[in-house]
Chains A and B, each alone.
Chain A
């Protein structure tokens, strides 16, 4: 049977990445330019404007202390992004180090390290996050660290698997043969080749970080008032469900959209990197 060549750029394949990327782009934009874009300050009270519904002056209404919800949501985006980026970075860096070392040195090192990762991995994430927050003390920085720690096993596992397959290739043998130092081999030969799957994992980690951070803030273990976080906004909103539903809808929708965006980006990247044989 004759094959048919594909001529135009395959938009279909990149559809998820583009959509996800667009959403992520918007969120990042909001996060970076928060002070500039927000119509009001997120912490300014206005007792005359408590619990007002969405209006021209306040697009998403006001909360129980008269603060503008839209501004708070935008600033919370900044918080979420910071936590997500730093936590993912911690997970990525330490996880990659551990995983690569385990794959490279093998033997006892591999066994001990990966066992430890496995054990860490078997804790339910939210539970571990809560316990770590209780342990470290509730603050945004600690939330980043706690979530970062939770990500380490996942990245370590992935890094190890990727590194293993790279290690089996010829060029690593050659590098060893010409006497390259361990460090050089790892940085020059191994790392560049495991970047792709790690990036995909990072995108997924981002979304999970946003989810975890919101969950922690919801429980009062993350960002503390008056700092706005989607999680703690959702928590206070619960007290006013009947009179002011927008207090619960806005931050929740923000979390949802952010997680969705990063998920789509991650899925899209994963699909795009995999050779797709299923196209009919």
Chain B
């Protein structure tokens, strides 16, 4: 078991290293000099040169990378090209926003998917199953930024229920915070639920055809007990596996949603970095998002590896 964790950890570190170098190379190849973007169109060549020297942009790429790697390890994420502010603290301030969004969206997705998927499986091939599957197909085809727009049109413009954007920290004003978060979370969560409904449905169908379900009924169990204790519980194992990976995808989609709803999270920070050619900002935020996704995948890998040995023997 220790070997499993160690080898996965090594793979994780390696992946992180390669991923970060890919990001670093991609970003530092950005055309349209960062210097020009920071100093403006009228900047003199000398000012540009001074900027580049100051930020070490005239050095070979490998050197820049090594330097950046070293600094990042010590927690120094550099300073923004735009305003010279430390990137690190700003990043930390933005993480809770994205986390709240991702977690809420994920919760919504699961709250929708688990019951619907299970129910569809219980009524396999009958009308409820076909309707739920159809709805899942529709939801999965929805662009989340369009859903966001529709939600704003209905809930903000038409019914004046929710604010169109902005962010107040949860502990400052919980109600307002939730009002601001609900539409972004719905946009992400509803689209994610489409895939999860299918996964839960498939897992349940598989489980429901198992002998132990018939055995539970043969013992005189009520349907509710059969479903919850025997069926759903066993279906959750493969489900959680996929759901966790989906959480990773969700995390990547926050970029657009944060932009639409003006949420000051890491996603919008990425866009800030791109628009301003602010390398340190872009690099740090893109890397953070990737890191979170990699961590999630790592945890899932380990978890699957741990659960497996228990169910190893004599599988059909």
Contacts and interface: CB of A to CB of B under 8 A. Distances in A.
B297 A122 contact: yes
B82 interface: no
Interface in A125-169: 125-127, 130-132, 134-135, 137
Interface in B245-265: 248-249, 251-253, 255-256, 259-260
Interface in A238-280: 238, 241-242, 245, 248, 252, 255-257, 259-260, 263-264, 267, 280
Interface residues of B, number: 45
Contacts of B140: 263
B149 A124 contact: no
Contacts of B216: none
A255 B282 contact: no
Given A119-B22, A255-B143, A264-B137, A125 B153 contact: no
Given A131-B23, A241-B153, A215 B145 contact: yes
B143 A248 contact: no
Interface string A115-126: 110111011111
A242 B26 CA distance: 39
B138 to A, nearest CB: 7
Contacts of B286: 127, 131
Interface string A216-238: 00110100000000000010011
Contacts of A211: 143
Contacts, number: 114
Interface string A77-100: 000000000000000000000000
A245 B146 CA distance: 12
Contacts of A248: 146, 149-150, 153
B181 interface: no
B256 A218 contact: yes
B299 interface: no
Contacts of B293: 122-124
B259 A219 contact: yes
A218 B257 CA distance: 11
B255 A127 contact: yes
Contact of A242 (B32, B157, B249): B157
Contacts of B19: 119, 122-123
A242 B32 CA distance: 37
B210 interface: no
Interface in B214-272: 248-249, 251-253, 255-256, 259-260, 270-271
Nearest to B138: A260
Interface string B39-55: 00000000000000000
A118 B157 CA distance: 44
A238 B149 contact: yes
A260 B274 contact: no
Given A124-B248, A124-B290, A124-B293, A219 B143 contact: no
Contacts of A257: 141
Given A131-B26, A214-B143, A234-B149, A119 B15 contact: yes
B289 interface: yes
Interface string B115-155: 00000000001000000000001101111011001101100
Contact of A118 (B15, B23, B138, B146): B15
B30 A135 contact: yes
A62 interface: no
A137 B277 CA distance: 12
A126 B252 contact: yes
A138 to B, nearest CB: 10
Given A119-B19, A135-B29, A260 B137 contact: yes
B27 interface: yes
Nearest to B245: A122
A260 B14 CA distance: 38
Given A127-B290, A130-B274, A135-B30, A241 B152 contact: yes
Nearest to B26: A135
Nearest 8 A/B pairs, CB to CB: A124-B252, A252-B146, A260-B141, A259-B141, A135-B26, A134-B274, A127-B252, A248-B149
Given A122-B297, A241-B149, 5 more contacts: A124-B248, A127-B255, A135-B30, A215-B145, A248-B146
8 contacts: A119-B18, A130-B255, A130-B274, A131-B26, A131-B27, A135-B30, A242-B157, A260-B141
